[in-house]
Amino acid sequence: QVSLKESGPGILQPFQTLSLTCSFSGFSLGTSNMGVGWIRQTSGKGLEYLATIWWDDDKYFNPSLNSRLTVSKDTSNNQAFLKITSVDTADTGTYYCTLTTVVTGFAYWGQGTLVTVSS
């Protein structure tokens, strides 16, 4: 069965870089048409799509955050990664990684990791 779990720093200060890891099982990012999508939920904007990394290493970013986002993967170890540079308080929220395909949307979600940006 598919399972995903996010891990991150919990708390960080403004202007720092947020690094998140998604560890998953039950699928491989080496399989065609599979992707890991990143979504966050904030009090200000609700659910917000951030980025996707695909099985072929293609990447897609929300243009509103494009310049701040980096996604990568470690297919052998079933992990995906998200980095957001220069965070501020508006980046406070719960961050989810998901299994996504073109057809099914965000089919499976991790439990989420709470990130708080505070000085």
Partner 1 sequence: DTVLTQSPALAVSPGERVSISCRASEGVNSYMHWYQQKPGQQPKLLIYKASNLASGVPARFSGSGSGTDFTLTIDPVEADDTATYFCQQSWNDPFTFGSGTKLEIK
CA–CA distance, 115 with 18 (Å, rounded to integer): 9
On the CB side of 10, how many CA atoms lie within 13 Å of its CA? 0
Query: Which one of 3, 28, 47, 74 is in contact with partner 1 (CB under 8 A)?
Result: 47
Contact 56, 39 (CB under 8 A): no
10 binds partner 1 (CB under 8 A): no
Q: Which stretch binds partner 1 (CB under 8 A): 25-33, 61-69, 73-81, 83-91?
A: 61-69
8 binds partner 1 (CB under 8 A): no
CA–CA distance, 79 with 7 (Å, rounded to integer): 11
Query: Which one of 62, 70, 75, 79 is in contact with partner 1 (CB under 8 A)?
Result: 62
Q: Which stretch binds partner 1 (CB under 8 A): 19-27, 28-36, 42-50, 78-86?
A: 42-50
**CB of residue 108 to partner 1, shortest distance in Å:** 7
> Among candidates 114, 116, 112, which has minimal Cα distance to 22?
112
